[in-house]
Amino acid sequence: MESKDSPILIDAPGGRGEFDKDILERMGHRVMSCSGPDTDERCPILEEGGSCDMVESAHGVVFELDLDSEQHREILERYQATLSSGVPIRVVVLEGQEETYAYLLAGVEVWTRDPNVAELDGFSARVEAYERIIDD
């Protein structure tokens, strides 16, 4: 299947997100993966004037970094501030995080477990709908 024009970013620690990537690629999307910053490093997008080519080009994001980490919360906030309005963001949270970080999760769809094929298909459709809107 031919890849669609715009990529989906999966932001997940090493090894996580491989199922998502495989399924989304089979649905025809070009998928980029980021495992987040190393524990002792700061994500470049958080630096003053910092940016990330993957985030800036993404037409959809699956965010699976742990929101209990301050840096990961900052990264999600930056995504929300940086991405164009309408870019679908799905955040996979650990048990209880949807309540603890409700303020941060407003405006994104939350998955309280790893997404299944049907949920990824729905996400894929949202990405495609976004692409149709920006192409008009």
pLDDT-based confidence at 49, cuts 50/70/90?
confident
| Alpha-carbon torsion (88, 102, 22, 32), positive or negative | positive
pLDDT at 5 over 70: no
**pLDDT of 1:** 44
pLDDT-based confidence at 62, cuts 50/70/90?
very high
Output DSSP code: residue 46: G
Mean pLDDT of the chain: 89
Q: Distance between CA atoms of 8 and 63, rounded to whole angstroms? A: 11
Domains defined along the chain, listed by start: 7-135 (3.40.50.2300)
**pLDDT of 2:** 47
Q: In 3D, which of 136, 134, 111, 106 has the Cα closest to residue 123?
A: 111
**pLDDT of 131:** 87
Give bridge partners of residue 7 from the DSSP assignment: 30
Range among 34-38, 41-45, 48-52, 116-120 with highest mean pLDDT value: 116-120
pLDDT digits (tens, 9 = 90+) for 77-114: 999 998 988 999 999 999 999 999 999 999 899 999 99
pLDDT at 39 over 90: no
